[in-house]
Structure 1
Amino acid sequence: MANEKFTKFVFELERKTREGGVRWERTSDESVYQAAFPKYLVRVYPKTHRGGVEPNYFIAILSENGSLIEEKSDTELAESWRGESGVPVKLMQRLYETAKEKATGIEGALDSLLGYLK
């Protein structure tokens, strides 16, 4: 049951992030982005295993004092997924990329730069 709820949470988080409803921030680690919620922090980040080419994407839920509550990888979610294979992996990658875009402000920077070029 917890894996199903976790997967549902990731789907909703990705959707809300895409719609601009979640405020992502940079952390001291350049590849980790986090969003603060009442009582919780959510972090997303990639990890490439030794010898690996493609990273796995992880999501961690932490308590408000920073203690790890749960961490799941894209492959862990894929193992418990009952739908089309590969969906959780793509979803986690999309979540990470969108969180990064929101946290870094790349959209605004590109809009501004494009304005200068017109």
Structure 2
Amino acid sequence: MNTPDITTVVERLYARTSSGDLKWEQTEQEGVYQTSFPNYSIRLSEEYPVEAGDEPMDYWIRIYNSDGMLVTSFCDRDVFEDFKKKGSNAYHVMRKMYIMSRDQSMGVTRALNDILDCLSDGDAQ
């Protein structure tokens, strides 16, 4: 696994997610979000670590080809050192990206705006 390439993929996914250029969607699995490219799909998930304890969640990226076969997978721990060398934190970057993908695919902004409209109009029940 070439971690500099993986680190670059994470950085670019994060940047495009932050800018709203990537469209994330829900998958058939709860808590797993997907964005697609012409020949590949990327799934982002939040999972308990294998060695459960007081460890924080792991954030996983899985890349699938157009046939639905898993090409590669990695989590924030796999790129931790590369991010650290750049003065960044892989866990925080991937966690923020997960939250943004979840919020986008679940329509959080729309839901909050609808609720705020109801509250400001006195329509709340």
Distance 1:78 1:51 in 2: 19
Distance 1:51 1:61 in 2: 25
Distance 2:107 2:93 in 1: 21
Distance 2:80 2:28 in 1: 29
TM-score by length of 2: 0.86
Partner of 1:52: 53
Distance 1:58 1:101 in 2: 17
2:59 is paired with a residue whose SS is strand
- AA partner of residue 53 (structure 2): G
- AA partner of residue 43 (structure 1): R
Counting only pairs closer than 5 Å after superposition, residues 35-74 of structure 1 correspond to structure 2 as 35-49=35-49, 50-53=51-54, 54-74=56-76
Q: Provide, for residues 79-99 of structure 1, a one-character-per-residue CA deviation record: whole Å limited to 9, x for no partner.
A: 344223x61111111111111
Partner of 1:83: 86
Which runs of 5 or more residues in structure 1 are unaligned? none
- How large is the Cα RMSD of the aligned pairs? 1.6
TM-score by length of 1: 0.91
Which of 1 and 2 has greater Rg?
2
Shift in Å, 1:51: 2.9
Distance 1:29 1:38 in 2: 22
Counting only pairs closer than 5 Å after superposition, residues 96-115 of structure 1 correspond to structure 2 as 96-115=98-117
Q: Which runs of 4+ in 1 moved over 4 A?
A: none
Count residues in correspondence. Answer: 117
Percent identity reads 27
Distance 1:2 1:41 in 2: 19
Partner of 2:118: 116
- Correspondence 1:2 to 2:5: no
Q: Provide, for residues 17-45 of structure 1, a one-character-per-residue CA deviation record: whole Å limited to 9, x for no partner.
A: 11111110101111100001111000000
